[in-house]
Amino acid sequence: MSSLRVWFLLACALSSAAAGAATVKPSGAFGTRAQLRECLALDDALKLRSSGLESTTVAINGKMAANEAEAARLADMKKTLDRSDKAAIAAFNQAALAHNQHVQQADEDASGAEVTRARLADDKAEMDQRCGAFTYRPADIDAVDKERRKAAAAAASAP
């Protein structure tokens, strides 16, 4: 019984050591100003994409809520449907077809957003891998920050 416990502890220790070896540790190297600019530009682009994705998600949620309300109206319409009136049945069927198209479009939009979300997560991980290993000197951070503020002010004042 105790030899089984020893093997288990040894296996856990080895898997922990392997997991620790697989993680990327900062090299302690100082990044250049150019690398800092590149990493900050990547971060800005990812934030912009994330913001756009949030807007898309809000729009998709709105479509889904509208589809749920439309489904409730169809259910009410079906309860009061005069089954002997062919025109009423045709109108209901037309509304049901339109609802199905709305649901399908919302599902396609949600699938597209999920693909975009996964791509964004991959790009964030890649940026973290590329930029996370550097340490930047305070003077470089200050200089690049001043450059970025100056560029932002120039962009804001441009017509």
The neighbour count for residue 60, using CB atoms within 10 Å, is: 19
The answer to whether 31 and 136 have CB atoms below 8 angstroms apart is yes
Q: From CA 57, how far away is CA 52, in angstroms rounded?
A: 9
* pLDDT higher than 80, residue 92: yes
What is the separation of C-alpha 6 from the centre of its chain, rounded to a whole number of angstroms? Answer: 43
- Greatest alpha-carbon span in the chain: 82
Q: Is the dihedral of CA 138, 143, 144, 149 positive or negative?
A: positive
Cα angle 82-85-87, degrees, rounded to a multiple of 5: 120
Task: Give pLDDT tens digits for 23-73.
Answer: 444 456 788 999 999 999 999 999 999 999 999 999 999 999 999 999 999
The answer to whether 134 and 81 have CB atoms below 8 angstroms apart is no
Total-model pTM: 0.68
Which pLDDT score, from 0 to 100, does residue 4 have? Answer: 37
Which pLDDT score, from 0 to 100, does residue 132 have? Answer: 87
Which pLDDT score, from 0 to 100, does residue 27 have? Answer: 53
The answer to whether 120 and 50 have CB atoms below 8 angstroms apart is yes
DSSP string, 45-100: HHHHHHHHHHHHHHHHHHHHHHHHHHHHHHHHHHHT--TT-HHHHHHHHHHHHHHH
